[in-house]
């Protein structure tokens, strides 16, 4: 097994979410939160990732099925975080080396502090190195206790804190690097003498110290990184923080976002340089926007949308599973679903692709430089040839496929016959 390895704890129910769904599958900016954690440990250098599943295990496995570097360990009963790590033993077998251990409900973790932890644990030959954070409000987290010389003593869970301990603001965000196999022995010594009667991973560092091993705790994490999702309110907070990270990264890469607060951009979206996104734009799902595009105000781009360079999508236009070729324009009040538009197409106000017949979705193809008139309806499947014109209010059905260069008008649409004057 290639190291370093990472272990992500994701077997818990997350009762405070009040949900049928596994907590780690709740979405932040369009992605299940566990995806962010996987990206963070991968970015920190983990070569093999073990995800501990339990509650709704099949859902979590399915959500991560396409990731070749992920293995699963099953924790049959949720007896605590220490027990969850123990469930990995048969999966990691004889691996010797560092194991980065994190929890699946902290989607804002970034790779850099985790990479630092791995590095420092190896450099210091430590049996355990914990990353900690100092928070203005430590509520909900385990607290870090140190001696008068500042050396790590132990972690006390919020539920087990006395008043003095509860006032400590240095917390345990559950980002640890443990050396294997040393950790296994400490886990075998865990007891359940605590408020929840669970096997706490948080007791393992102190047990290692008692076994004569070296353990340290360093403050390498920011408040933003360690937001734990235990209830729906936290989910909304995480969403807001992640959204500003996504938008800041795009702005740093040369995208203009006129009003970040009224704009929503999915984590999976890609946006090219010199594109301008106007207020009240929503970008959902895997969407690719090229360079020099203009989007919004009030545009809704959904999963599978591709805007090629210099395309323009304006007010009250919804695009779904569709491509607008370069320089194509849908400036107002249009719906494009399952449509492939060539370059330079003009979509008039109120033009609609009727892609759904009540049972199946059908495709629409519109050739280069074609023009769709105001209020026209294309009842898919339908093809509009290059340079063709669909008149305002025309209804194009599959029987009336529009030839290249032709002009069609009326309901149902028919080729326009110009009056020939003798």
Residues labelled catalytic: 332
Nearest to ligand UD1 by Cβ — which residue? 142
Which residues have C-beta within 8 Å of that of residue 74, sequence separation ≥ 6? 11, 52, 53, 54, 57, 87
Q: Is position 83 an interface residue for ligand UD1 (rule: CB under 6 A)?
A: yes
Which of the residues 203 through 262 are near ligand UD1 (CB under 6 A)? Answer: 228, 230
In this structure, the strands spanning 377-379 and 352-354 are: parallel
Which residue in 45, 228, 285, 297 binds Ca ion (CB under 5 A)?
228
Which residue in 5, 6, 10, 395 binds ligand UD1 (CB under 6 A)?
10
Selection from ligand UD1, Ca ion, none that 12 binds (CB < 5 to 8 A by kind) is: ligand UD1
Selection from Ca ion, ligand UD1, none that 79 binds (CB < 5 to 8 A by kind) is: ligand UD1
CA nearest neighbour of 116 among 218, 27, 31: 218
Q: CA-to-CA distance for 160 and 399, rounded, in angstroms?
A: 74
Nearest to Ca ion by Cβ — which residue? 228
Q: Is position 310 an interface residue for ligand UD1 (rule: CB under 6 A)?
A: no
Selection from ligand UD1, Ca ion, none that 115 binds (CB < 5 to 8 A by kind) is: none
Backbone angles phi, psi at 413, to 5 degrees: -65, 135
| 413 three-class SS | coil
CA nearest neighbour of 364 among 406, 404, 407, 321: 321
Backbone angles phi, psi at 48, to 5 degrees: -130, 135
Please state the closest distance from residue 395 (CB atom) to ligand UD1, in A. 54
Which of the residues 45 through 64 are near ligand UD1 (CB under 6 A)? Answer: 52, 54
* End-to-end CA gap in the chain: 86
Q: Is position 88 an interface residue for ligand UD1 (rule: CB under 6 A)?
A: no
Residue 253, exposed/middle/buried by CB under 10 A (0-12, 13-18, 19+)? exposed
Which residue in 70, 79, 299, 384 binds ligand UD1 (CB under 6 A)?
79
Which of the residues 130 through 189 are near ligand UD1 (CB under 6 A)? Answer: 141-142, 155, 157, 171-174
- Residues of this chain that bind ligand UD1 (CB under 6 A): 9-12, 52, 54, 75, 78-81, 83-84, 103-105, 141-142, 155, 157, 171-174, 200-202, 228, 230
């Amino acid at each position: 097994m290639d190291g370093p390895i990472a272990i992500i704890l994701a077997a818990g129910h997350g009762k405070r979410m009040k949900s049928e769904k596994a907590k780690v599958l709740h979405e932040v900016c369009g992605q299940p939160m566990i995806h962010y954690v996987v990206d963070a440990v991968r970015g920190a250098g983990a070569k093999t990732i073990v995800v501990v599943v339990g509650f709704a295990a099949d859902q979590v496995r399915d959500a991560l099925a396409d990731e070749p570097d992920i293995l699963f360990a099953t924790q049959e009963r949720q007896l605590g975080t220490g027990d969850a790590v123990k469930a990995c033993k048969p999966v990691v077998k004889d691996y010797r080396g560092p194991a980065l251990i994190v929890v699946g409900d902290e989607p804002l973790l970034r790779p850099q502090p985790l990479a630092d932890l791995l590095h420092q644990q190896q450099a210091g030959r430590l049996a355990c190195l914990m990353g900690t954070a100092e928070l203005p409000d430590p509520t909900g987290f385990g607290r870090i206790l140190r001696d008068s010389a500042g050396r790590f003593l132990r972690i006390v869970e919020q539920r087990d804190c006395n008043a003095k301990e509860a006032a400590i603001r240095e917390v345990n965000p559950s980002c640890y690097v443990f050396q294997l196999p040393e950790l296994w022995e400490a886990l075998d010594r865990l007891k359940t003498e605590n408020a929840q009667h669970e096997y706490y991973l948080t007791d393992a560092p102190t047990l290692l110290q008692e076994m004569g091993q070296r353990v340290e705790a360093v403050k390498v994490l920011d408040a933003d990184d360690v937001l734990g999702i235990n209830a729906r309110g936290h989910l909304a907070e995480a969403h807001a923080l992640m959204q500003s990270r996504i938008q800041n990264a795009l702005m740093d890469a040369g995208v203009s976002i006129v009003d970040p607060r009224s704009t929503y951009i999915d984590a999976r979206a890609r946006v090219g340089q010199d594109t301008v996104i106007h207020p009240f734009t929503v970008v959902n799902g895997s969407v690719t926007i090229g360079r020099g595009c203009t989007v919004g105000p009030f545009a809704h781009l959904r999963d599978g949308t591709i805007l090629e360079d210099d395309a323009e999508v304006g007010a009250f236009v919804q695009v779904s599973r569709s491509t607008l070729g370069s320089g194509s324009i849908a400036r107002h009040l249009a719906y494009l679903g399952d449509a492939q538009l060539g370059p330079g197409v003009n979509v008039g106000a109120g033009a609609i692709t009727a892609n759904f017949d009540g049972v199946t979705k059908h495709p629409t193809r519109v050739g280069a430089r074609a023009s769709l008139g105001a209020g026209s309806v294309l009842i898919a499947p339908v093809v509009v040839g290059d340079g063709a014109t669909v008149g305002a209010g025309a209804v194009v059905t599959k029987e009336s496929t529009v030839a290249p260069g032709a002009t069609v008008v009326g309901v149902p649409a028919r080729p326009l016959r110009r009056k020939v004057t003798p």
